[in-house]
Structures are given as structure tokens and as C-alpha cells.
Amino acid sequence: MLRGLATSWKYFRKSKLAVGGLIIILIFIFMAVAAPYLAPYDPQKSFVGPMFSPPSIKHPLGTDDAGRDVLSQIIYGSRISLIVGLLTAAVATLLGTIVGLLSGYFGGSLDEVLMRITDIFLTIPFIPLAILFALYFGPNIWNIILIFGLFGWPPVARQVRSQILSLRETLFVEALRALGASDKRVIFIHLLPNVSGIIMANVVSRTVFVILAEAGLAFLGASDPRNISWGMMIFYALRSGAVVQGAWWTYIPAGLCVALLACGFSFLGHGINLVLNPRLRGR
């Protein structure tokens, strides 16, 4: 196992993009975990400085319309993006993996029913539904995680199913059945590890999508106003007339953080594909 990890790291580190993406993600994770120690002010506390104060030594990223420290909001905002992105990706990937495993392995009528349900979910307009869901049940961060997770699994299910369909006819699966292995053991002990690459790649790709989607919902005012997020910072900045005031520091750093974190996960996904796909290593 250690040799396998060492080999994977060897291929992974050959890509500067992948290593750069990993560093970006680790920096944001450290920022989120150590937020109480890194943030110079309470991000929700008003009038710690003059309104729309430009960047200075006391406030490196200035203040917003309520006199709140922008740097502190940026630091705490990393928590929401990471929590929403990773938890939603985990929920969607878990649901999609289970559906794909069962559908691909058993086939028949079960496969037909599950794939038709998958098709229905794929036709649902995701972002408008998420906005309606957030507005109806309230702009709660856990509601956003739930709606993104429940409606983000179909692409994962289709990819896992496709891989399982090809694996279930292989000789090693036939040998396991001949030896009396149960369907449960074949699926979760022997087939599941063979789709681990697809699972990891989907966790990364779903995280990128959700980070951008959450920022978009927050920008539209459909996210949780009780929690500081980068999207909410942009929403409040534009609503308060920051553009007219020329207070670029209230929204540009937040937008850059969204883009940088999304790029970090995209670069990490490239590194994972490099490790899992031998055809990409020679390019």
C-alpha cells in the first residue's frame, strides 16, 4: 500500500498544476481551521473602522459599508465555501455511487427503473430549483447542502454504472460468483475499489461546481445571511453601492478567492486524472 501511495505521489508531483492546486487548497483549509486566530477582528462586528475605508495597515483589505473588516470576512468566508463544497460533493458522490453500483451490477428491471429516475433528475433545471428551494425553506446553509447533494448525483451514477457494466462480466467476478461470494461482497469489497478513481474525480469536480453555485446563490441573496461567505460579501457590496463608491476591495478579493479555490480543486482533479489514467502521463 505504501509503495502504491509513493508511486501515485511520484506521478502526481510531476504536474506543477496539480501540486499548485493542492497547495492552494491546503492554504484555504488552514485559513478556515485557524480563522479565530488569523482574523484580526470579528467579521460580524460593525464599525471597527470608518465605512468604506480603503486598505491600510490597520485594515489590510479595508472595510465595508458597515465598517466591518474585509480581511476578517474573507478568512471566515473560506469556511462556508469549503464546508458547502466538500459536504455536498460527498453526499452527491455517495448517492450516485450507490445508484451506479446497484444499477450496473444487477441490471434488468432495477437498472431500467434507476436510470429512468436518473434521467428525470438530469432534466430538472438545477439552479432555478435551488433558488426556489432556498427561498421557500429559508436561506439556510444546510438546506443548500441538502438540495445540492440530492440533485447532484445523476452524473456520478451514470459514470459508475458504465464502469460496473464492463466489470461485472470479467473473469474475476465470474470466479467470485463460482466460489459462492455474495452479491454484497462482490459489489462493495471487489467492485467498489475498481471505481475509486471515478469517485475521487467526481468529488473534486462536484466540489468545484458547488463552490461556484453557492457563490452564485449568495450573490442573488439566496444564501444564509447569518454566515459570512464570499458570495454574500459580493451581494452586500453591490447592494450597498460599493461600485459607485469605488470600494473595489469589498468585492474583488472575495471574487478572486472563489475563483482561486475553484481553480485549486480543478488543478487537483487534473493531478488525480494523471495518477489514474496512464495515457495522460506521457503528455
- Residue 78 maps to a domain: yes
pLDDT of 30 = 94
pLDDT of 282 = 52
- Residue 127 maps to a domain: yes
Mean pLDDT in residue range 162-180: 83
From the list 61, 33, 63, the residue with the least C-alpha distance to 47 is: 63
- Residue 174 maps to a domain: yes
- Residue 50 maps to a domain: yes
Residue 117 and residue 177 in contact, taking contact as beta carbons nearer than 8 Å: no
- Residue 95 maps to a domain: yes
Handedness of CA 206, 211, 212, 216 (dihedral sign): positive
Contacts of 239 (CB under 8 A, 6+ apart): none
Q: At 194, which CATH number?
A: 1.10.3720.10
- Residue 25 maps to a domain: no
125 has a pLDDT exceeding 80:
no
Total structural domains within the chain:
1
pLDDT of 7 = 67
The residue range of the domain holding 157 is 33-280
pLDDT of 182 = 84
pLDDT of 277 = 63
238 has a pLDDT exceeding 90:
no
- Residue 64 maps to a domain: yes
- Residue 65 maps to a domain: yes
- Mean pLDDT of the residues in the chain: 84
- Cα–Cα distance for residue pair 116/99, rounded to 1 Å: 12
Burial class (CB in 10 A: 0-12, 13-18, 19+), 113: exposed
**Residue-wise pLDDT tens digits, 51-105:** 889 899 999 999 998 889 999 999 999 988 888 888 888 898 999 999 999 998 8
Which own/partner pairs from 106-112 qualify as long-range (CB within 8 Å, at least 24 positions apart)? Answer: 106/183, 107/165, 107/168, 111/161
